[in-house]
Structure 1
Amino acid sequence: MDIETDFSTFAGKKLMVVGGAGFVGSNLVAALLDTDPREIIIVDNLLSSDISNVPDDPRVTFVFGSITDDTILKALPEDLDYVWHLSCYHGNQSSIHDPLADHENNTLTSLKLFERLKDIRSLTKVVYAAAGCAVAEKTYDDASATTEDAPVSLFHDSPYSISKLVGELYGNYYFLQHQLPVVKARFQNVFGPREILGAGRWRGTPHTVWRNVTPTFVWKSLNNETLGLDNGGQTTRDFIFVEDMARGLMCAAKHGQPGENYNLASGVETTIRELAETINDLTGNPVEMEIRPARPWDRSGCRFGSTEKSRREIGFEARTSLREGLEKTVAWTRQNRETIERCMRQHDYFMTHLTGDTPR
């Protein structure tokens, strides 16, 4: 039996996805519904997500609000089987702009959720969405694949990176002190359908709209706009397609050992220039790219994740190539242009009056 694709263990179970209306969370919920669970509870305050990502399915219960809300925590059922904790304060730039909001939505969410879950004895596994960027070596030379036991620096580029590490530390504490079965899944750069530019509420900077590099590049390329290459596009990342990520999160829940961490990565190092060139090729965008200096706060340089431990211990391996994933992402963006434009338009006032930027 293929341990990677047999997810019948979730059939008939009560599941919860915190942040389940978000980009990764909604793809995970879609994959989990295919396993025929008894119920999936989604808890999401729609801070950086859109209600259109919540499926209309009788097995889905949507709870609107933050997982830090004591009323929501108290009302959680005592017979949960699996939990995925994916909520976060989206993005490095937003966390730099408002570290306190990052603390409220990244750090406090983990602490309060774990404190509540420690009393639910039915839990088989709790999967925490950790960040590979928080442990990757800061280098602009030849990068080595970041392993799960890589040393962790005490110097970080953003509150987001710090809070993601603190979440891992709290997970370890609750595992050791209360035997909470926490597994840490370290994300690389996820991309794909359902990442909606501008989804959610205004968070103080244009990065409320312009989020991760891939959806930004796809949107601009489809509109025949220039793609800006920070640091000349020589920075590298490990891009993993969101459907692979959803499967990896399920592998972590089924096969991951409590207290352990696992990279969910493609293991392929790609420059931002290569990403931009592929997207422009897929969309037919003829506009020249713009070379820009490095972002002043960003020292992350070149990085990609090691896939050996995840392949060996939880049976996970990414299947979707970058180009194939981008083809699906471009197609989804074309099909969902109206939803994306609606989410982007809701920030026009702030983009114009508070930042001086011209709304799209």
Structure 2
Amino acid sequence: MGETTFAGARLLVVGGAGFVGSNLVLKLLEQNPREIIIVDNLLSSDIANIPADPRIRFVYGPITDDRILRELPDDLDYAWHLACYHGNQSSIHDPLADHENNTLTSLKLFNRLKDMSGLKKVVYAAAGCAVAEKTFDEAKATQEDAPVSLYHDSPYSISKLIGELYGNYFWTRHQLPIVKARFQNVYGPREMLGAGRWRGTVHTVWRNVTPTFIWKALNKEALPLDNGGNASRDFIFVEDMARGLMACAARGKAGDIYNLASGVETTILELARIINEVTGNPTPVDLRPARDWDRSGKRFGSTEKSRREIGFEAGVSIREGIEKTVAWTLANKANIARCMAQHDYFMAHL
């Protein structure tokens, strides 16, 4: 991708205060865009993630707000839709909130963008977990054309697929130049435990496995391994993800879909071992039974199509990425603790 792809462009990043969105914004700023409009309601993100830069315009609120949609400029060049109701567990706890923040966001945003004739590309954050085979046997790399089941573990997974379906509809009906980017398990700097508002469960604080493990390991706590750590995931460093999102916008084919993956299968037990080594945590892991809702087992994404068609490859190994994330966590420990502490009252009264 050329270094000037987004130079002088007007860009929209919905969910730009999140940890993936903010890393994307930082990468986009390097290409000297005219303006980056960030729309975020800070439901599961923190204002500290928004870079202080005169080229950034922050709009506080949900992208489902009709006023916000109406006031978006009509001369956008590129848009990234990264807003979501964070996490499977939160969506299970409150499916209606998931619908409001996962499904309606996609429908209303795409409906607004469809009439912008100068829009070059819209990138939608799809979910690899929604199409991965449910297995605890040997995993096979999930291809972009994997069959889609009608049975899902969470409203989050359902909502993410609905977003793809709406994207396909607006592409075929209105030629909205949408590219779907299927996320694997993203981790890295700027993901703050407890960021945002209380969502009714402990998973408001304890979110994805990597930041949870790093925080507990730095505090010499046992890392909890559901199902003995037997499950596996495709972990991709957030800066690689940001590059992949930019590649989707620059070279992705409208109407198509691409995995943004490392292509490497890592068990949760191996992840725990690496994190304990990097942090110097001597506490043995805490082996637990499998989560009652989770049938996702083992999975990782195929990288062939993304490498061939948009020239994207992840460059950061899991160990290097963990080392960088641990260093960032140590440097931002006070800010993370602040985000976690704002939920102390609710956590104590569960």
Shorter-chain TM-score: what band?
over 0.9
Q: Aligned equivalents of 1:121 and 1:20: distance in 2?
A: 23
Q: Aligned equivalents of 2:46 and 2:167: distance in 1?
A: 28
Q: Aligned equivalents of 1:188 and 1:215: distance in 2?
A: 15
For 1:150, the equivalent position in structure 2 comes to 146
Confirm or deny: 8 A CA contact 1:118 1:174 kept in the other structure.
Answer: yes
Q: What aligned pairs does 1:174-185 form with structure 2 within 5 A after superposition?
A: 174-185=170-181
Q: 1:7 to 1:127 in 2, by over 3 A?
A: farther
For 1:287, the equivalent position in structure 2 comes to 283
The alignment covers a number of residue pairs equal to 350
Residue 158 of structure 1 deviates from its aligned partner by 0.1
Q: Given the alignment of the two structures, is residue 109 of structure 1 paired with residue 105 of structure 2, yes or no?
A: yes
Q: Given the alignment of the two structures, is residue 38 of structure 1 paired with residue 28 of structure 2, yes or no?
A: no
CA RMSD of the aligned region, Å?
0.4
The partner residue of 2:77 within 66, 78, 81 is: 81
After the TM superposition, which parts of structure 1 deviate over 4 Å for at least 4 consecutive aligned residues?
none
Runs of 5+ in structure 2 lacking a partner?
Answer: none
How many percent identity over aligned positions? 76
For 1:254, the equivalent position in structure 2 comes to 250
Equivalent AA in structure 2 for residue 150 of structure 1: A
Q: Deviations over 1:242-263 (max 9, x none)?
A: 0000000000000000110000
Residue 341 of structure 1 deviates from its aligned partner by 0.4
Q: Aligned equivalents of 2:146 and 2:89: distance in 1?
A: 25
The partner residue of 1:299 within 291, 295, 301 is: 295
For 1:128, the equivalent position in structure 2 comes to 124
The partner residue of 1:274 within 256, 263, 270 is: 270
Q: Aligned equivalents of 2:297 and 2:47: distance in 1?
A: 35
SS at structure 1 position matched to 2:80: strand
TM-score by length of 1: 0.97
The partner residue of 2:94 within 91, 98, 107 is: 98
Confirm or deny: 8 A CA contact 1:183 1:256 kept in the other structure.
Answer: yes
Q: Aligned equivalents of 1:251 and 1:8: distance in 2?
A: 13
Residue 7 of structure 1 deviates from its aligned partner by 3.5
Q: Given the alignment of the two structures, is residue 197 of structure 1 paired with residue 201 of structure 2, yes or no?
A: no
Q: Given the alignment of the two structures, is residue 47 of structure 1 paired with residue 43 of structure 2, yes or no?
A: yes
Residue 8 of structure 1 deviates from its aligned partner by 1.1
Confirm or deny: 8 A CA contact 1:185 1:263 kept in the other structure.
Answer: yes
For 2:158, the equivalent position in structure 1 comes to 162
Confirm or deny: 8 A CA contact 1:255 1:314 kept in the other structure.
Answer: yes
For 1:311, the equivalent position in structure 2 comes to 307
For 1:225, the equivalent position in structure 2 comes to 221
Q: Choose 273-282 or 6-15, whichever is displaced more.
A: 6-15
Q: Aligned equivalents of 1:317 and 1:337: distance in 2?
A: 31
Q: Aligned equivalents of 1:144 and 1:97: distance in 2?
A: 31
For 2:68, the equivalent position in structure 1 comes to 72
TM-score by length of 2: 1.00
Q: Aligned equivalents of 1:121 and 1:100: distance in 2?
A: 33
Confirm or deny: 8 A CA contact 1:7 1:250 kept in the other structure.
Answer: no
For 1:186, the equivalent position in structure 2 comes to 182
SS at structure 2 position matched to 1:331: helix
SS at structure 2 position matched to 1:9: coil
Q: Deviations over 1:59-101 (max 9, x none)?
A: 0000000000000000000100000000000000000000000
